[in-house]
């Protein structure tokens, strides 16, 4: 049953199967649910307008928390889309803010972290603050400024940092790192506990030792996955979706 729910991506909406493997499968299911909803969300946007439709959906996902409290609270991790739909919508509103150069839409995007507080379910204050900071920071970096303005000069440095080769590579392998890291970290900790005296070290030392062992292995395997699986998969997808020449 576990395999069947994962192959069908239904596990994300079933509390018993939403988070029961070492992989971060709960968030993968979350993405698949968003992809399923996205066409219908855009139909609503076309019918009612961008902000009206998306903010209404955000409000509905928040209302669901109080209409179906037992269902929402049954999830060990937020694998069901309505628990995190507000943050997906924040990303859409942020993209529209940059496209329109609209500060109002940046404020709309900040409704996402506010809804996280209303939904609750273990939302950490620091996490909510970081979500808001990320939205403001992304808006600042992506915004189009006049070439000679002060903001254009200030943003030039973070843009260069984010666009250098190391940052680009880290972005390329980030998804593979996300999928792999627990498969490396957990066995590494077990091995260190069995073979060394790490348990008698202080917290910071233990953390640094585990990082030193896990990070090189994780990123090496992630780079291999990116080049041998992800890139060929992207190429195949583009080939499959490319328009066929007219006969």
DSSP per-residue string spanning 174-188 = HHHHHHHHHHHHHHH
Residue 156 within a domain: no
Instruction: Quick: pLDDT tens for 64-122.
Output: 999 999 999 998 888 899 999 999 999 999 999 999 999 999 999 999 999 988 888 66
Same-domain pairing of 103 and 172: no
Same-domain pairing of 183 and 70: no
Give the domain extent around 93: 1-144
Q: How many whole angstroms separate alpha carbon 81 and alpha carbon 186?
A: 27
Residue 153 within a domain: no
Same-domain pairing of 39 and 101: yes
Residue 243 within a domain: yes
**Which of 113, 144, 175 represents a domain boundary (last residue)?**
144
**Which of 76, 111, 144 represents a domain boundary (last residue)?**
144
pLDDT score, position 23: 76
Contact 9, 27 (CB under 8 A): no
Same-domain pairing of 195 and 225: yes
Q: How many whole angstroms separate alpha carbon 52 and alpha carbon 203?
A: 48
Instruction: Tell me how many domains the chain contains.
Output: 2
Same-domain pairing of 140 and 97: yes
Residue 159 within a domain: no
Residue 151 within a domain: no
Neighbour count for residue 133 (Cβ, 10 Å): 11
Same-domain pairing of 178 and 113: no
Same-domain pairing of 140 and 201: no
pLDDT score, position 123: 66
Same-domain pairing of 37 and 108: yes
Same-domain pairing of 174 and 136: no
> pTM here?
0.82
Tokens, residue 218: 């994780």
Same-domain pairing of 206 and 104: no
Residue 56 within a domain: yes
Same-domain pairing of 103 and 40: yes
Same-domain pairing of 118 and 205: no
Residue 64 within a domain: yes
Q: Which residues of the chain have pLDDT under 50?
A: none
Residue 232 within a domain: yes
Q: How many whole angstroms separate alpha carbon 33 and alpha carbon 120?
A: 21
pLDDT score, position 40: 96
């Amino acid at each position: 049953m576990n395999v069947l729910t994962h192959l069908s991506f239904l596990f994300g909406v079933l509390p018993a199967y939403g988070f029961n493997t070492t992989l971060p499968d709960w968030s993968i299911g979350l993405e698949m649910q968003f992809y399923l909803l996205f066409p219908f969300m855009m139909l609503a946007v076309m019918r009612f307008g961008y902000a009206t439709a998306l903010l209404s959906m955000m409000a509905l996902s928040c209302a669901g928390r109080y209409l179906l409290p037992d269902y929402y609270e049954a999830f060990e991790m937020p694998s069901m889309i309505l628990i995190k739909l507000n943050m997906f919508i924040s990303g859409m509103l942020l993209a529209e803010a940059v496209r329109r150069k609209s500060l109002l839409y940046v404020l709309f995007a900040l409704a996402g972290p506010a809804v996280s507080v209303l939904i609750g379910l273990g939302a950490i204050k620091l996490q909510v603050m970081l979500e808001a900071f990320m939205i403001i920071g992304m808006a600042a970096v992506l915004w189009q400024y006049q070439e000679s303005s002060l903001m254009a000069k200030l943003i030039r440095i973070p843009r260069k940092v984010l666009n250098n080769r190391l940052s680009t590579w880290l972005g390329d392998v980030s998804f593979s790192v996300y999928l792999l890291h627990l498969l490396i970290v957990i066995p590494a900790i077990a091995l260190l506990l069995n073979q060394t005296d790490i348990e008698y070290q202080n917290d910071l030392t233990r953390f640094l030792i585990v990082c030193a062992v896990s990070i090189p292995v994780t990123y090496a395997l992630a780079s291999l996955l990116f080049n041998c699986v992800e890139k060929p998969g992207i190429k195949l997808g583009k080939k499959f979706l490319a328009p066929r020449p007219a006969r």
